[in-house]
Structure 1
Amino acid sequence: MSKRNESLSQEEQQALMQKYDPESSVRQLKGIVAKIVFFGLLAFSIYQLYVLTIHPLPAQIHRTIHLGFGLSLIFLLYPATKRKQAKGQLGWLDYILSALSVGVGLYWPLKYDEIVMQAGEITQLDFIFGALAIVLVLEATRRAVGIPITVIALVFLAYAYWGRQMPGFLIHRGVDLDTIVKSMFFTTEGILGTPLAVSSTYIFLFLLFGAFLVKTGVGQYFNDLAVALAGKRTGGPAKVAIFSSALQGTISGSSVANVVTSGSFTIPMMKRLGYRKEFAGAVEAAASTGGQLMPPIMGAAAFLMIEFIGIDYWTIAKAALIPAILYFAGVWIMTHFEAKRVGLSGLKDEDMPDRKEVFKKLYLLLPIVAIVVYLASGLSITRAALYGILTTMLVGLFREEKYRSIYPIVFVAGVIAWMTYMTAFAGAGLSFIVLLESFVPAALLTILVSYFFDGNFVDTVDALTSGARTALAVVAATAAAGIIVGVVTKTGLGLKLANSLVDLAGGNVLLTLFFTMLAAIVLGMGSPTTANYVITSTIAAPAIIALGVSELPAHLFVFYFGIIADITPPVALAAFAAAGVSGGEPIRTGLNAAKLAIAAFIIPYMFVLSPELLMIDTNAWGIIWVTFTAVTGMLAIGAGMIGYWYRKVFLIERIVSVAGGLLLIYPGRLSDTLGIATFAVILGLQLLVKRDLIGQPVGVKQNA
């Protein structure tokens, strides 16, 4: 493409992420410290792979070592202040905090037998190390994740200690310091609780999977494929942004990172074609935020839901599919109508990639398809992630044409050899599972052969260190979230808040959902996906469950609104990052993004009130019908919100169109009938009335 040089440079992208995403605000280290951090990150990944595949450890030991790796590396990589980051130097305090983190990480492994034999009691030394762990987690979270979640964790700790002084329904008997420290570091209900457990297993492996995808070149391929498929259509660059960001969401757990990486390419392209700065930034922000709502990975929150709700991964991914499709359908429809309203066409031929070359690389999507197949086949999440990493490494071998023909032969030979061994000598019957199990030795054999021919060792090491580096902020966030969950468990705060929200709403379902939505948006502002979901599911979801709603719709409800906080002013980090790329005004960019993402503000209400949208208690025909009516409803809402369809939409038409769209989205025979009738009337008026309010014929370009 001739104008790709207009996209942001790597340095500009990094500067933007450091400004709006605390997880990216790292020092640029040099010398011996850089080597220590490099080998520390590599050791972190190797340790995780070893424990999860070869030699499992007791939960407390594994989680503490995981925590120790994360904290010690955070204090070396993340500066205490922005000013110190600019200097790129470490102070004596950073070294001390890093060394203390190593001590905390080794405490459980070295004293495991003693702690277990104490039967719940702790010594003075235990208290010191437990208190130290809490302080280190809070400081590491402040540096790597940001102030909001740190403040929330501190408030919860204060609430636990000063419970007797709390007003009204918040009062409780209080928790003394010994009990706080014991529950936070010497049980699995605090720092070492469920959030960190998920971080140390599923999330880490899927972050490694994402790192290997990036090294394979999948991220850039998403952009190329999106341009090839959507670039020539009406408003092509905006649709490229939506398509590529939806795909990028499968390998990025951060809305801001997604905005900057894909937006540095798509936003300049949209501006060049005629989109307003704020609208161009809004499209990218809305699409990038939605990437975390799209299965299969969903910003790692799906794995936390497994532990919190106790249902299998596939049920969660299946339930999230239709709402995610509706979200992106809404953004796509509104950008299409905006392009028609303003009169924007697609990309010119010279800006389009060679489609033949793009489609020849479709094999780069195999890892994402494979991860879905692995999860659907009944493999454990851990094994599915490991198989996904191996698949990505295999796919990466086909980038080099020199030895490309050798690898399929080696792989097929490995599969045949292993299946022969399993059926002839190990007594296994020929089955799909045996075929799947033969994948691992065949893949490892092929990768070893590739090192002999191509020397791909450097890329593998880079992916291992990159994945571990991405995991650092997740370690801090989940550890801090564990503090919040621990306090809620110890004090019963979740149930108290749930009852207060229900009482405030007078028992009204819609009002309770509205208040819960506000709580989820506020709690989600400035927090990464994993911590965001832990906080909202612990504090806000119980209010919905108290009304008799099942757990999955309730958890997805708060998850959606926690994510949408990234594009909801005034603290709309994804929208602000997009404005940094586009040069637009941040608040207006956020307002435009919230308008484009209107589906995310509507659909959660619908699937709580009628779970058919989550494929719960319905059949195949029901799923097809509810999807059709919901997408049609988004079409009507999009026309009403933008004010254009086949021609300009009059004010009364806009109101009726939005109302009809809401009726279509809400599942039900009466609502569907009324919605379809309304949709037919509006469509008929659009086709029959050939002139807009100012008398321009259909198809004449309107002013923005």
Structure 2
Amino acid sequence: MLKELENQPSDADLDKAQRIVDEAEGGTRNVESGISRWVIPVIAASWSIFQLAISSFILLESTLVRAIHLAFAICLVFLSHPLFKKPKKNRFLNYFAKTDRFTAVDYILAGAATLLALYIAIDYAGISLRQGIPLDRDIIFGFILVLMLLEAARRSLGPALPIVAIIFILYSFLGPYMPSVLAFKGVSVQRFIGQITLSTEGIYGVPLDVSATIVFLFVLFGAMLDKAGAGKYFVDLAFSLMGQYKGGPAKAAVLASGLTGMVSGSSIANTVTTGTFTIPLMKSVGYPAYKAAAVEVACSTNGQLMPPIMGAAAFIIAEYCNLEYVEVIRAAFIPAVVSYIALMYITHLEASKLGLKGVPKSDLPPFWKTFFAGIHFLIPLIFLIIELVVYRHSPALAAFRAILALAALIYIQNIYRAHKKNESIKKAVKHASWQIMTSLVAGGKNMMGIGVAVASAGIIVGVVTLGLGGIITEVIEVLSGGNFLLILVITAIASLILGMGLPTTANYIVMASLTAPVILTLGAKNGIVIPLIAAHLFVFFFGILADDTPPVGLAAFAASAIAKSDPIKTGIQGFTYDIRTAILPFMFIFNTELLLIGVDSVFYGIWIFISALIAMFAFAGLTQNYFFTKNKWFEGVLLGFSALTLLRPSLVGGWIGLSAAPKPMIMMMGIFLVALVYMYQRLRVRRSAA
């Protein structure tokens, strides 16, 4: 009992973890008294209602929708985040760090930023007529909008994105003075402002459009599911199913985070939602604190890979690649699911190394009772998947209809519970209405960071389209010496470094504009034809991995607060668990069958899935230095070679002189090697025991 109490996080630990989530997603200001406490909730709920309206009965021109979307986002950021996050000793500076009330400056900045974001909508007809020849007023307003947008990004996301954007802005003007390789003809102020703030090639570009028309609805859907109680249901279901097995709490954490990640699209929120339950239980069965936190970080981070939501960036991938969203899901399915199952296998290996057991079945909730108690939470998810996959409706329409179904379900759920307990139906209806209202508020607050992030990333995209794309390709080609594998490594490292300070969505947008075209261009120069979706998923995967990359990974800090562990050590351990995810992009760039590209047979698709899963098990055994027992050096080599054989059969076939052999035959050799290592280690353990 004493040990269990020691493993439980204190209220202060939970508050610290929740504060990390609130600051990352909902802002640091918390006004609890007076009429001012309703300002942010009213604006956030109004934003959600507006987004639902344009998805159903209001028709607006695309640019107007983008402008209004940004206006809501930037207004909420200036109200939710003070100028300084921490109190200042200086009385004057401390005025700008108030977190318990709004100041006059907050209202002025929020109002000014809102009007500037709406300027393209207010003078839409005039701006359309003078494209390329902006007025002085256009330039002044555009310049101030860029400054305010970067400040909003700094407040809500930290300094990384504004710094990168400022570097690109300066480069666009100072290009003529750069060294020969980096030299750029430069742009005029008129052209820069026209491109960035008065067209749909900069701030109001494709990413902001996707955020306004699709991403918001899925974030709102996830918020409604969470408010309805689906998050706790997924955790209970995972524990009832997996808790009794070896290292069961860790396996349950992986399953719970995968289920929650399907709808949340946020690694930090996922970490706190499931980690509050999973981390103490992992510690109670013997996991060291930093490993318990690292497991939660790894599975919560990978939650953004799980269909049907896959984080906000997945919708932008569909737009950039001009694909239906269901095609993005299809391409990402095998890497995402295989990576997740492999993480569960890693928790099994860790439990085996530590000699851990599961939770006694008597201490776990009964599976079938738990399953049926919340089965109604699966209805909106199934409804959403059917809308997307079977009827092939647009993501926006599918999400809108799923939200309506979920809203009806919330009322039915509350009325049924009240009837069962002989309580007031009227109170149940009021409670359901309150749940929906708080969901609308949560949806708006969760989206403000994404809205500002995609608009700020649009500045970088706009600068690149001014003519920097070719220079970036040339610079990377020089750095890599034309070696395509080195090009991929440079891209991966750049994504990880940028991702330390950027949210996944912004990281993806920046890297997709800078490096995805480079991968395609230089791949073609090396005789490698790469599908567009493969290049974009490569960038997407490494952007997600950055969420647990030390020293900035916020998911690691949130998990370490719950586990009472060192955040840097937690982040490093979490990243070692995620190495298996890091090798997959390098594999599917060269073996696009892993993305089901060109795979039309269901049976062959299943074969690809099974072989990729065995490869991930082998690679996990290599990285953990443990398969059935601790590896000998040659066993690790065999596991690594077998993983490569299963993921890159053509490459290995060429090495061993079987380039003309069918791929399945070469892959069978890899499976045989895995089985050989497994059987040899079992025999070794038996001999040792004898």
Report if TM-score (shorter chain) is over 0.5.
yes
1:4/1:615 CA distance change after superposition, 3 Å: farther
1:557: Cα distance to partner? 0.4
Structure 2, unaligned runs of 5 or more = 88-96, 525-529, 651-662
Higher mean Cα deviation, 261-270 or 107-116? Answer: 107-116
Other-structure match for 2:546: 565
1:519: Cα distance to partner? 1.5
1:517 paired to 2:499: no
Higher mean Cα deviation, 671-680 or 599-608? Answer: 671-680
Other-structure match for 2:660: none
* Cα distance in 1 between the residues matched to 2:161 and 2:393: 34
1:477/1:9 CA distance change after superposition, 3 Å: farther
1:642: Cα distance to partner? 2.2
1:117 paired to 2:129: yes
**What amino acid maps onto 2:470 in structure 1?**
L
1:632 paired to 2:633: no
1:482: Cα distance to partner? 0.6
Match of 2:517 among 542, 559, 572: 542
1:17: Cα distance to partner? 4.6
Other-structure match for 2:370: 358
The aligned runs of 1:52-91 (5 Å cut-off) are 52-84=55-87, 87-91=99-103
SS at match of 2:365: coil
1:187: Cα distance to partner? 0.3
1:593 paired to 2:574: yes
* Per-residue deviation, residues 458-506 of structure 1 (Å, max 9, x unmatched): 1211111110111111111011011010001012x23322233234333
Other-structure match for 1:428: none
SS at match of 1:400: helix
Aligned-residue sequence identity (percent) comes to 36
Structure 1, unaligned runs of 5 or more = 407-448, 699-704
Other-structure match for 2:296: 284
Report the TM-score when normalising by structure 2.
0.89
1:394 paired to 2:376: no
Higher mean Cα deviation, 83-92 or 358-367? Answer: 83-92
**What amino acid maps onto 1:612 in structure 2?**
E
CA contact (8 A) 1:485 1:538 kept: yes
Other-structure match for 2:585: 604
* Cα distance in 2 between the residues matched to 1:24 and 1:539: 29
Other-structure match for 2:107: 95
The aligned runs of 1:9-88 (5 Å cut-off) are 12-19=13-20, 22-30=24-32, 31-84=34-87, 87-88=99-100
1:229: Cα distance to partner? 0.9
**What amino acid maps onto 1:390 in structure 2?**
L
* Per-residue deviation, residues 84-133 of structure 1 (Å, max 9, x unmatched): 45742333332221110232144233322222232432222222221121
* Cα distance in 2 between the residues matched to 1:288 and 1:277: 17
1:452/1:577 CA distance change after superposition, 3 Å: closer
Other-structure match for 1:189: 201
Other-structure match for 2:469: 494
The aligned runs of 1:474-493 (5 Å cut-off) are 474-491=450-467, 493=468
* Per-residue deviation, residues 45-72 of structure 1 (Å, max 9, x unmatched): 1222222321221222221121111111
* Per-residue deviation, residues 275-310 of structure 1 (Å, max 9, x unmatched): 011211111111000000111111111110122111
* Per-residue deviation, residues 537-567 of structure 1 (Å, max 9, x unmatched): 1112122111131210000001101111122
Other-structure match for 1:526: 501
1:5: Cα distance to partner? 11
CA RMSD of aligned residues (A): 2.5
1:370 paired to 2:383: yes
1:339: Cα distance to partner? 0.6
1:249: Cα distance to partner? 1.1
1:588: Cα distance to partner? 2.4
* Cα distance in 1 between the residues matched to 2:607 and 2:235: 32
* Cα distance in 2 between the residues matched to 1:357 and 1:397: 22
Other-structure match for 1:644: 626
**What amino acid maps onto 1:672 in structure 2?**
M
CA contact (8 A) 2:28 2:85 kept: no
1:119/1:590 CA distance change after superposition, 3 Å: closer
Match of 2:433 among 457, 461, 477: 457
CA contact (8 A) 2:13 2:562 kept: no
1:667: Cα distance to partner? 4.2
Report the TM-score when normalising by structure 1.
0.88
Other-structure match for 1:323: 335
1:7: Cα distance to partner? 5.4
SS at match of 1:297: coil
* Cα distance in 2 between the residues matched to 1:456 and 1:690: 58
> How many residues are treated as equivalent by the alignment?
652
* Cα distance in 1 between the residues matched to 2:578 and 2:624: 12
1:14/1:140 CA distance change after superposition, 3 Å: farther
* Cα distance in 2 between the residues matched to 1:25 and 1:539: 30
Higher mean Cα deviation, 151-160 or 387-396? Answer: 387-396
1:639: Cα distance to partner? 2.2
**What amino acid maps onto 1:634 in structure 2?**
M
* Per-residue deviation, residues 417-466 of structure 1 (Å, max 9, x unmatched): xxxxxxxxxxxxxxxxxxxxxxxxxxxxxxxx999956622121111111
* Cα distance in 1 between the residues matched to 2:417 and 2:244: 35
**What amino acid maps onto 1:649 in structure 2?**
N
* Cα distance in 2 between the residues matched to 1:454 and 1:34: 21
